[in-house]
Amino acid sequence: MLTCQAPGIEEYAESKTQSPCALLNELQRETHQKMRVPQMLTGPLEGTFLRLMAASISAKSILEVGMFTGYSALSMAEGLPADGKLVTLEIEPEHIAMAKKYFERSEHGKKIEVIEGPALDSLKKLKGPFDLVFIDADKENYINYYEDILPKVRPGGVILVDNVLWGGKVLDPQSTSDRAVCAFNDHVCKDDRVDRVLLTVRDGVFFLRKK
């Protein structure tokens, strides 16, 4: 059995990871109290990973596809310099309303621009170049998002794609979403424009570096 599957291992990892700020903890609690699918929240382990990734590559321009209630956006914004910018795309007004409430309370919120609407439409209006991209939206469009975004990422830039293990369903895909995630993973594996590693962080994160 893989170590990452052992009961309690994620809690252990979180206990050894730098704690998020109090505002992110509050956002996590409210998301679990008020949202129908709170499991969509990035959470402290992956959120800290995203923040450190932004800081480690000295990102100044970040794109996020799929914001939910803003935990991941706010985490990455913390890793940006004062003059950095994060553009995040979200279609659900309810999610945007909660996220903006927390952005307004954070010193890093001024770095974040929220664009409401279907992500594929919004992407057509964005030029880049982006240093870091985080994709965490509808799985059926993962390949479309990736192909639209890759030309807008600078050489050496990083794309992180969430949920690529899809709760283990990639091993026996049944639904449309299952097959979409599998198709995306296969698509990336054939793409010589990027270097890649699939990380078993939470529900799987594809770490892609543009050549």
pLDDT tens, position by position, 110-122:
999 999 999 999 9
Q: What is the pLDDT of residue 2?
A: 45
Q: What is the pLDDT of residue 10?
A: 86
**80 contacts 53 by C-beta, under 8 angstroms:** no
Tokens of 158: 């990083």
DSSP per-residue codes, the chain:
--GGGSTTHHHHHHHTSPPPPHHHHHHHHHHHHH-S-GGGS-HHHHHHHHHHHHHHTT-SEEEEE--TTSHHHHHHHHTS-TT-EEEEEE--HHHHHHHHHHHTTSTTGGGEEEEES-HHHHHTT----EEEEEE-S-GGGHHHHHHHHGGGEEEEEEEEEE-SSGGGGGGS--SHHHHHHHHHHHHHHT-TTEEEEEE-STT-EEEEEE-
Count CA atoms within 13 Å of residue 116 on its CB side.
9
pLDDT tens, position by position, 83-139:
999 999 999 999 999 999 999 999 999 999 999 999 999 999 999 999 999 999 999
Residue 64: what residue type? Answer: E
Instruction: Give dist(CA 117, CA 14) in Å, integer.
Output: 33
DSSP per-residue codes, 134-162:
EE-S-GGGHHHHHHHHGGGEEEEEEEEEE
Q: Which CATH class is domain 3-210?
A: alpha beta
Note if the pTM is more than 0.85.
yes
Instruction: Give dist(CA 90, CA 96) in Å, integer.
Output: 7
Q: What is the pLDDT of residue 149?
A: 98
In the chain, % of residues over pLDDT 70? 98
Instruction: Give dist(CA 74, CA 69) in Å, integer.
Output: 10
Instruction: Give dist(CA 159, CA 133) in Å, integer.
Output: 5
pLDDT tens, position by position, 31-58:
999 999 999 999 999 999 999 999 999 9
